């Protein structure tokens, strides 16, 4: 009776995390499905943070994140020749975030309502225990401010969300939205100015 | 440090000691800090993190199922080519059928003389050469 030799296989994944976006996309189109999974893991949290402000629930935000990745992949497959033929780097993160911003915007418009239903935990710390009244006031002020964010002009809202929710540096925000860095900072400044005015009007910043 | 610079630092999370010193003495920047704090969404919950951890697998599954439709251009191209071929065949048949046809040319041969001896009397009636009243010795 002969015993067959053990099959040796190289398991993908370990080294994949250090690979560039262009390399991962090239690997995916060459037939390695796991390569796209690495890309998703790399950017999913940023994309999710950006879209969840516009979503009605966490499941909604998850669906929007998924759609953003699938559309970014479609976009990448259309222009794959550009980075397949050379070593040029693909701006995948910028693509997926741009798509995420647009998807979220359209979703919120279609849904016709601007509510964030997921404010479950109060995220502020105080030295002393806040009174029930303080908690209520804070919660109300948060809701008013978040609503005011969603009513900002589109460009200001996009810059604000990418900065505050996505935590992106201004240089990267500029790349995602096709702006100059200075322009992105100006939009942010005007967004904050407007928010302060709105919140003062609503009595939230009192 | 200016208020604009402080605002940019406050939005990024890491606030330098210089910005903190400016913040302590600037009412406008304190308002900015408060508004930014109110506008920020809470940190991701454990449920959300758990949900996100399964996202790559879900997306890969979705890519696998939609791949033929979205990314397999060969099948699509063959389908289009086949449809175009059938269309061309039908179109050519229709064109052939509807093409204007030239009117048929009828060729008429003139009969110069009847020479058939088997003709009946009626048929040869006009061929009988009766002498003309103006002819001969009248």
The A residues from 16 to 55 touching B (CB cutoff 8 Å) are 33-34, 36-38, 40-41, 44-45, 48-49, 52-53
Task: Give the mean model confidence (pLDDT) for residues B8-31.
Answer: 90
Q: What mean pLDDT, rounded, does chain B reach?
A: 78
Burial tier of A136 (Cβ tally within 10 Å: 0-12, 13-18, 19+): exposed
pLDDT greater than 70 at residue A126:
no
Q: Which of A52, A53, A118 is nearest to B52 (CA)?
A: A52
- CA A91 to chain centroid, in Å, comes to 15
DSSP state, residue B114: -
DSSP state, residue A19: S
pLDDT for position B114: 55
pLDDT for position A133: 82
Separation of alpha carbons A100 and A176, rounded Å = 10
- Considering only CB atoms, B43 lies closest to which of A53, A123, A196, namely A123
Query: What is the value of ipTM here, to two decimals?
Result: 0.77
Task: Give the mean model confidence (pLDDT) for residues A147-151.
Answer: 91
Q: Flag if B60 and A34 touch (Cβ within 8 Å).
A: yes
Identify all chain A residues contacting B55, using CB atoms and an 8 Å cutoff: 40, 44, 62, 65-66
Residue A105 CB neighbours (<10 A): 17
- Asked if the C-beta of A119 comes within 8 angstroms of chain B's C-beta atoms, the answer is yes
Identify all chain B residues contacting A148, using CB atoms and an 8 Å cutoff: 39
Task: Give the mean model confidence (pLDDT) for residues A25-38.
Answer: 86
Nearest residue in chain B measured CA to CA from A161: B40
Task: Give the mean model confidence (pLDDT) for residues A44-72.
Answer: 93
Task: Give the mean model confidence (pLDDT) for residues B82-89.
Answer: 87
- Chain A and chain B share a number of CB contacts under 8 A equal to 115
């Amino acid at each position: 009776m002969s015993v067959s030799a053990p099959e040796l296989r190289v398991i993908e994944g370990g080294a994949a995390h250090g690979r560039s976006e262009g390399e991962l996309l090239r690997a995916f189109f060459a037939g390695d499905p796991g390569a796209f999974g690495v890309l998703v893991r790399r950017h999913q949290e940023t994309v999710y943070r950006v879209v969840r402000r516009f979503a009605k629930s966490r499941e909604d935000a998850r669906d929007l994140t998924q759609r953003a990745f699938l559309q970014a992949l479609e976009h990448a497959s259309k222009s794959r020749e550009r980075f397949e033929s050379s070593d040029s780097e693909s701006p995948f993160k910028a693509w997926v975030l741009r798509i995420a911003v647009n998807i979220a915007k359209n979703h919120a418009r279609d849904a016709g309502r601007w509510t964030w239903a997921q404010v479950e935990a109060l995220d502020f710390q105080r030295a002393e225990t806040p009174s029930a009244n303080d908690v209520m006031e804070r919660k109300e002020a948060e809701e008013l401010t978040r609503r005011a964010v969603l009513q900002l002009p589109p460009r200001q809202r996009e810059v604000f969300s990418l900065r505050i929710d996505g935590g992106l540096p201004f240089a990267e925000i500029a790349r995602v939205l096709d702006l100059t860095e200075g322009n992105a900072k100006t939009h942010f400044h005007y967004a904050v100015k407007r928010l302060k005015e709105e919140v003062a009007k609503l009595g939230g910043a009192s | 440090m200016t208020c604009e610079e402080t605002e940019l630092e406050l939005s990024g999370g890491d606030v330098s000691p210089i910005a903190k010193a400016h913040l302590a003495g600037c009412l406008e920047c304190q308002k900015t800090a408060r508004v930014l704090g109110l506008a920020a969404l809470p940190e991701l919950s454990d449920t959300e993190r758990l949900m996100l951890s399964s996202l790559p697998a879900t997306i890969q599954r979705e890519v696998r199922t939609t791949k033929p439709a979205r990314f397999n251009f060969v099948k699509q191209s063959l389908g289009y080519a086949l449809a175009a071929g059938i269309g061309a065949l039908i179109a050519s048949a229709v064109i052939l059928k509807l093409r204007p046809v030239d009117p048929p040319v009828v060729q008429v041969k003139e009969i110069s003389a009847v020479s058939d001896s088997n003709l009946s009397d009626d048929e040869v009636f006009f061929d009988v050469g009766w002498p003309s009243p103006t002819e001969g010795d009248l």
